[in-house]
Amino acid sequence: MRSRYTAYVLELEQYLLHTWHPDTRPLALNLNEGQAIKWLGLQVKQVETSEPTATVHFVARYKIGGKAARLCELSQFVRLENRWYYLIGSDTNASSDASY
């Protein structure tokens, strides 16, 4: 999870695609399109592992257009051949909050 967050911060699209499960992987992410995002931090709230799957609840804080926001997600991962792959995520509470 942390490596994927870092890849978003550094706009490493190929790494993100490589660590995405082939069944749910998009063709491209186009990270350089749209407004620039400044990532401010990642907080992993909870991790549950039941081989070969894992669920990670996290909050990622960022600024876009000068406005603070956060992404709260419950991500599902699956382990294949000793590597973890991002499968899918569900938004648990995306909101703006100037207190960040």
pLDDT tens, residue order, the chain (100 aa): 899 999 999 999 999 999 999 999 999 999 888 889 999 999 999 999 999 999 999 999 999 999 999 999 999 999 999 999 999 999 987 444 443 3
Cα dihedral: 11, 15, 21, 27 (round 10): 60
Residue 66, pLDDT score: 92
pTM of the model: 0.85
Type of residue at 19 = T
The arrangement of secondary structure in 2-96, i.e. its CATH architecture, is Roll (3.10)
User: How many residues comprise the chain?
Assistant: 100
CA–CA gap between residue 19 and residue 83 (Å, rounded):
8
